[in-house]
Structure 1
Amino acid sequence: MELNHNHAETLAELQELIDVVAKLRSPNGGCPWDLVQTPETLIPYVIEEAYEVVDAIQSGDQAAIAEELGDLLLQVVLQAQIASESQQFSLKEVAQGISQKLIRRHPHVFGDVSVQNADEVRQNWEQIKAAEKGEPTPENQQMSAKLSRYGRTLPPLMAAMKISHKAAAVGFEWENIDGVWAKFHEELGEFQQALAKETPERQQAELGDLLFAVIQLARWYNLDPSAALQGTNQRFVQRLQKMEAVVDRPLSEYSLDELEMLWQQAKAQLAQEL
């Protein structure tokens, strides 16, 4: 297949990125920071860059989207570069693998399978995926296997919501909202007791149980806990911005009472702007 001019330029830019990353990882003149990185140390950056891509997409800023996609692409190339240095795999295998997977899982595009709608595409995808991995199809998997995958592959809040929805669908559910509130208060009490008497490990476990109970409340009231927490984070930062806009010295130099007064003023101002 003959490449057009734009495709050739794209491949040239991709090759330059590969070369730049290889240079950064070179023992001869490379970057000390890049040289000490491992696949494991880069995990936080993979997650962070993925979230920054989402934030850019939601903002609608095309320049920011392109920049953040570049940062995410860097993480892919860097992981492949590190793996290639120990002859595990290279970017070639990464690209080849995903291309072949897409072809296999889209027989309605690259084969002779007919589909009527997007639901049939999804069903075919899951069946082909299960066959590739030698696993039961999703409808035949044990519930614990499905939920375990959510816990491994989704952000914690999203995973908890997904797990609780799936468990409720098979009857693992309270009879009414009163039972959910009772569970929340039970977990709150156990968390408070753990803080007073238990080890840090036990305290963390009880905190997890309490958060899971909060997510059950969100599910029963049809609320999105991830969106709720994201909104709270944004409002917190916005209020701090309002506070910093009216002060004449760093916030750390104000008393707690003064900070509370500034906080309430910022909160009221933002409420008026809605």
Structure 2
Amino acid sequence: MSKQTNHNPDAATLSALQQIIDVVARLRAPDGGCPWDLAQTQQTLTPYVIEEAYEVVEAIHSGEQKAIAEELGDLLLQVVLQAQIATEENKFSLKEVAQGISEKLIRRHPHVFGNVEASSVEQVKQNWEEIKAIEKGEENTQLSSKLSRYTHTFPPLMAGMKISQKAAKAGFEWENVEGVWAKFQEELAEFKQAIALESRVQQQAELGDLLFTIINLARWYKLDPSEALIGTNKRFIQRLSHVETLAGRPLADYTLEELENMWQQAKAKIASEPE
């Protein structure tokens, strides 16, 4: 590992990490600990892991460094809590968690810690995937089996993008973006037909096909469908807030035409505001 550079954290950082470990251990102490923390299991904490991860992403989007630091702290708490519970049950410890990820990073970065050459991002990604496949014993595993795990580990939009990317890399790809647009029109027509004539099960299936095609369009244009939907949700709420300000009374008291008029006013007002 001749290329490895040693950057030791300062004593204050190590002390702060030890403090959160000690605080969590105290919260989980059978004698005098917190009843809520003591009642938690690895399973009951899973919603908080997801919630805190999303809040980290939201903070990063905001650009507020203080908020990012705070949300990363909340996410770190979930890591320490999971490790503390596992330690109590003699399953694994935080030390094993830290050692495991360090060893994985070293294995998967042979261009940094070994003698492999990788001068581009694509080469790094290819090396990572090859090493990962070897570690998991998936060198000769069928593509479908590899992709199936994404349906269990990622939110639907993210899973769709991952599956689309991996399938395309394996050759399951259109020749050009016009082919994707043609597929979109085909799926849209099938969805409309299902809505008009088919069962709810078939309608759901056709909606899924349409959404997956939109994900493929996003991939071709190097767009992130999850980010796009997050932005749309925010804009909708922002515009709705302006409409409520304009309304002055319950929205149900207005006609659809009146609401549309206020909606357009809200869009125009937001568009004119400096970013």
Provide the rounded CA distance (Å) in 2 between the counterparts of 1:73 and 1:144.
34
Residues 22 and 267 of structure 1: CA distance in aligned 2, closer, same or farther (over 3 Å): same
State the Cα distance separating 1:35 from its structure 2 match. Answer: 2.7
Provide the rounded CA distance (Å) in 2 between the counterparts of 1:240 and 1:49.
26
Residue equivalent to 1:55: 58
Residue equivalent to 1:232: 232
Residue equivalent to 1:92: 95
Provide the rounded CA distance (Å) in 1 between the counterparts of 2:156 and 2:71.
23
Residues 35 and 207 of structure 1: CA distance in aligned 2, closer, same or farther (over 3 Å): farther
Q: Deviations over 1:65-104 (max 9, x none)?
A: 1111111111111111121221111111101111222233
Residues 187 and 104 of structure 1: CA distance in aligned 2, closer, same or farther (over 3 Å): same
Provide the rounded CA distance (Å) in 1 between the counterparts of 2:197 and 2:30.
53
Amino acid at match of 1:82: I
- Which is bigger in relative contact order (C-alpha 8 A, separation at least 6)? 2
Provide the rounded CA distance (Å) in 2 between the counterparts of 1:256 and 1:38.
50
Provide the rounded CA distance (Å) in 2 between the counterparts of 1:207 and 1:179.
13
Q: Deviations over 1:94-125 (max 9, x none)?
A: 011112222333334334x1414144433333
Alpha-carbon contact 2:187-2:206 (below 8 Å) kept: no
State the Cα distance separating 1:154 from its structure 2 match. Answer: 3.2
Provide the rounded CA distance (Å) in 1 between the counterparts of 2:41 and 2:254.
44
Alpha-carbon contact 1:160-1:215 (below 8 Å) kept: yes
Q: Which moved more, 1:13-22 or 1:34-43?
A: 34-43
Q: Deviations over 1:108-149 (max 9, x none)?
A: 4334x141414443333333333332320xxx5422133223
Residue equivalent to 2:190: 186
Please, which of 101, 104, 107 is the counterpart of residue 110 of structure 2?
A: 107
Residue equivalent to 1:155: 155
State the Cα distance separating 1:223 from its structure 2 match. Answer: 4.7
Matches within 5 A, 1:120-159: 120-136=123-139, 141-159=141-159
Q: Which moved more, 1:251-260 or 1:263-272?
A: 251-260
Alpha-carbon contact 1:160-1:212 (below 8 Å) kept: yes
Q: Deviations over 1:151-186 (max 9, x none)?
A: 333332122123234435524659833343121231
Q: Deviations over 1:17-54 (max 9, x none)?
A: 11211222233333333233222232222222222222
Residue equivalent to 2:4: none
Provide the rounded CA distance (Å) in 2 between the counterparts of 1:32 and 1:268.
51
Residue equivalent to 1:215: 215
Q: TM-score, normalised by structure 1?
A: 0.78
Please, which of 25, 31, 43 is the counterpart of residue 22 of structure 1?
A: 25
Residue equivalent to 2:119: 117
State the Cα distance separating 1:269 from its structure 2 match. Answer: 1.5
Structure 2 unaligned spans of 5+: 1-6
State the Cα distance separating 1:209 from its structure 2 match. Answer: 4.0
Alpha-carbon contact 1:24-1:35 (below 8 Å) kept: yes
Provide the rounded CA distance (Å) in 2 between the counterparts of 1:193 and 1:21.
57
Report how many residues are paired: 262
Provide the rounded CA distance (Å) in 1 between the counterparts of 2:226 and 2:184.
19
Provide the rounded CA distance (Å) in 2 between the counterparts of 1:45 and 1:99.
25
Alpha-carbon contact 2:184-2:210 (below 8 Å) kept: no
Residue equivalent to 1:83: 86
Provide the rounded CA distance (Å) in 2 between the counterparts of 1:215 and 1:166.
13
Alpha-carbon contact 1:167-1:173 (below 8 Å) kept: no
Q: TM-score, normalised by structure 2?
A: 0.77
State the Cα distance separating 1:253 from its structure 2 match. Answer: 7.6
Structure 1 unaligned spans of 5+: none
Residues 240 and 179 of structure 1: CA distance in aligned 2, closer, same or farther (over 3 Å): closer
Residues 150 and 182 of structure 1: CA distance in aligned 2, closer, same or farther (over 3 Å): same
State the Cα distance separating 1:218 from its structure 2 match. Answer: 4.2
Residue equivalent to 2:47: 44
